[in-house]
């Protein structure tokens, strides 16, 4: 579908699952959540340059496609950061339900907040969000079975 990067918003319990996505050659930006399993091996895995993994720890702030992006696990932090107007896109996990919403920020503009849902299908259908940073158009998609 033309993806150029993966953003992971936490609860990567087993870093070994990243082995399935690394061959795609996409940069992976990820943070841990409240269920982060083997953080030591996740950190080691991210140190290998060929994996293209950018592991930020609790939260991450970076630029992709000339868009300012913040990722964090918890939705209340994401909403708060969206309100600042410092970011074009704020992504979070934890809710286990997919959300794409525009939040009016203190600058009188809108910041996009996204929760991709649960790729594992934990307590909700398995989903992810696919989008375009140039247009800031994003859609919730089901994970193929």
Tell me: the pLDDT tens digits for 23-68? 999 999 999 888 877 888 888 888 888 889 999 999 999 999 999 9
| Least reliable range by pLDDT among 54-58, 60-64, 84-88, 102-106 | 54-58
The phi and psi torsions of 5 (rounded to 5 degrees) equal: -165, 160
Domain boundaries, the chain: 6-142
What span, in angstroms and rounded, lies between the C-alpha atoms of 109 and 86? 10
What's the predicted TM-score (pTM) here?
0.93
Q: Would the CA dihedral through 121, 124, 128, 133 be positive or negative?
A: negative
Quick one: fold of 6-142?
Purple Acid Phosphatase; chain A, domain 2 (3.60.21)
């Amino acid at each position: 579908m033309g993806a150029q990067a993966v953003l992971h918003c936490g609860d990567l319990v087993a870093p070994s699952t990243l082995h399935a996505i690394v061959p795609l050659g996409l940069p992976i930006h990820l943070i841990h959540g409240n269920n982060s399993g083997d953080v030591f091996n996740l950190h080691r895995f991210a140190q290998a340059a060929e994996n293209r993994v950018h592991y930020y720890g609790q939260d991450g702030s970076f630029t992709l496609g000339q868009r300012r992006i913040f990722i964090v696990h918890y939705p209340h932090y994401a909403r708060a950061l969206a309100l600042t107007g410092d970011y074009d896109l704020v992504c979070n996990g934890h809710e286990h339900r997919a959300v794409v919403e525009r939040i009016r920020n203190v600058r009188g503009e809108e910041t996009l907040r996204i929760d991709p849902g649960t790729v594992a299908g934990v307590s909700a259908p398995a989903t992810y969000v696919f989008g375009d940073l140039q247009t800031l158009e994003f859609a919730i998609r089901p994970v193929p079975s």
